[in-house]
């Protein structure tokens, strides 16, 4: 199961009756993001008896199979290959594609306004959302904000900073879980103690606790220890989310997951630690 924490967020969205029109899936490998997007589409359309959120899609029904094989008429993934087919480009032009074209995006938007052929929900996946040109992004804005009912948009990117801001701001961002380089596997008892303290401090001074967590550590070690701290903390928050899938808890988990991504990007450990502790 690729979705993991992402699935918890979706489950909470479903319970709260607010599956968003558009999501931005960030982080992980190209394959992770693609698999997570397809699993999202399966979850919304699984025919295995229940909506596939809590336990994940069944993986066995005809809908799950066809979505996995990218052979479902109501699930469309845009990449350069499918754009080339959609616009009937010659092999030479296909090979030279550098961005998504407005004509391709317009065709997807038109499709979004048609009823699903067989699925409950139509899913449009844009693989590499940073490839949207300004012009093609503009063609998407309205539908991202107010998609026709039964249509959802999943934008995937490894680099959210390169996605046009007006697109980014319209999507609900979901950071994917991904392995942290340098994170230690063994559990540090000290780190467990910090996690416990963070979850129980109930509004006590976040800056003081962040300083204590990072005190007396060389910068390299700070990053490793904070990575481990965030990993354990996100695990605890996931457990909490399973018992109480509230929007508040989803927000807390999202902040922790985003901090894991930011830490990999060398954002200051002190700043990240404070942000996470404040959010709790």
Nearer to Zn ion, 48 or 84 (CB): 48
Nearer to Zn ion, 61 or 141 (CB): 61
Contact status: 56 vs Zn ion (CB under 5 A): no
For residue 272, which of 204, 216, 225 has the smallest C-alpha distance? 225
In 77-218, alpha helices (H): 80-86, 91-95, 102-112, 134-145, 165-168, 189-200, 206-214
Q: Which two tokens stand for residue 265?
A: 């990007």
Q: Alpha-carbon distance 14 to 151, whole Å?
A: 15
Residue 229: strand, helix, or coil: helix
At its nearest, how many Å lie between Zn ion and the CB of residue 38? Answer: 12
At its nearest, how many Å lie between Zn ion and the CB of residue 7? Answer: 14
Contact status: 51 vs Zn ion (CB under 5 A): no
> Binding residue for Zn ion (CB under 5 A) from 4, 15, 19, 48?
48
Contact status: 64 vs Zn ion (CB under 5 A): yes
Contact status: 35 vs Zn ion (CB under 5 A): no
At its nearest, how many Å lie between Zn ion and the CB of residue 62? Answer: 8
Q: Which long-range contacts (CB under 8 A, 24 or more apart) does 48-53 make?
A: 51/14, 53/7, 53/10, 53/11, 53/14
Residues in contact with Zn ion, counted by CB under 5 A, come to a total of 6
Contact status: 230 vs Zn ion (CB under 5 A): no
| Residue found by looking up tokens 């009912």 in the block | 149
Nearer to Zn ion, 27 or 52 (CB): 52
Contact status: 84 vs Zn ion (CB under 5 A): no
The H or E element that residue 123 is part of is: strand 122-127
The four Cα atoms 234, 240, 242, 248 give a dihedral, to 10 degrees, of -90
Contact status: 57 vs Zn ion (CB under 5 A): yes
> Binding residue for Zn ion (CB under 5 A) from 14, 51, 61, 199?
61
Does residue 14 contact residue 44 with C-beta atoms inside 8 Å? no
Instruction: Point out which span in 63-71, 99-107, 175-183, 185-193 binds Zn ion (CB under 5 A).
Output: 63-71
For residue 126, which of 102, 108, 139 has the smallest C-alpha distance? 108
> Binding residue for Zn ion (CB under 5 A) from 58, 102, 261, 280?
58
At its nearest, how many Å lie between Zn ion and the CB of residue 6? Answer: 18
Rule CB under 5 A: which residues touch Zn ion? 46, 48, 57-58, 61, 64
């Amino acid at each position: 199961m690729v979705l993991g924490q992402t699935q918890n967020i979706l489950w909470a969205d479903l319970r709260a009756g607010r599956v968003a029109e558009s999501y931005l899936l960030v982080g992980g490998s190209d394959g992770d993001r693609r698999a997570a997007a397809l699993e999202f589409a399966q979850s919304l359309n699984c025919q295995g008896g229940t909506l596939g959120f809590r336990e994940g899609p069944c993986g066995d029904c005809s809908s799950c199979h066809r979505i996995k094989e990218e052979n479902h008429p109501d699930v469309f993934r845009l990449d350069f290959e499918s754009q080339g087919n959609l616009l009937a480009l010659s092999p030479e032009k296909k090979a030279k594609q550098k961005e998504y074209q407005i004509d391709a995006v317009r065709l997807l938007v038109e499709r979004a306004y048609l009823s699903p052929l067989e699925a409950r929900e139509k899913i449009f996946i844009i693989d590499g959302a940073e490839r949207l040109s300004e012009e093609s992004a503009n063609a998407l804005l309205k539908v991202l904000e107010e998609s026709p009912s039964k249509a959802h948009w999943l934008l995937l990117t490894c680099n959210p900073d390169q996605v046009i801001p007006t697109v980014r701001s319209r999507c609900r961002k979901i950071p994917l879980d991904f392995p942290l380089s340098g994170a230690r596997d063994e559990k540090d008892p000290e780190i467990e103690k910090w996690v416990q303290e963070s979850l129980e401090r109930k509004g006590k001074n976040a800056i003081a606790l962040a300083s204590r967590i990072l005190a007396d550590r060389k910068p390299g070690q700070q990053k490793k220890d904070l990575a481990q701290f965030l990993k354990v903390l996100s695990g605890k928050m996931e457990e909490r989310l399973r018992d109480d899938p509230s929007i508040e808890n989803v927000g807390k988990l999202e902040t922790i997951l985003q901090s894991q991504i930011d830490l990999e990007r060398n954002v200051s450990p002190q700043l990240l630690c404070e942000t996470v502790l404040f959010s709790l």
